Amino acid sequence: MELTKNQAALILDASEDGEITVDIALSDEANLAGALCQAIATKLMNDENFQTELMQMVEGDTMN
């Protein structure tokens, strides 16, 4: 996948043992999309409540 100058991508990798790694693909570090991806990645890796909320959504516990 090739990104345009205003795009960024959050890349999640799930290992077989359930470990999640987060990476960011940036076309230009100075854009809003890149800053948002960085903020989401930081929150995902450091905020236990956010992680729990996401897992509940994935497991169907809080989806509408």
Domain ranges of the chain: 8-58
Q: Is the dihedral of CA 36, 9, 57, 47 positive or negative?
A: negative
| pTM assigned to the model | 0.76
Q: Is pLDDT of 64 > 90?
A: no
| 2-56 pLDDT, tens digit each | 898 889 999 999 899 878 899 999 886 678 999 999 999 999 999 999 988 988 9
Encoded tokens for 12: 């999640």
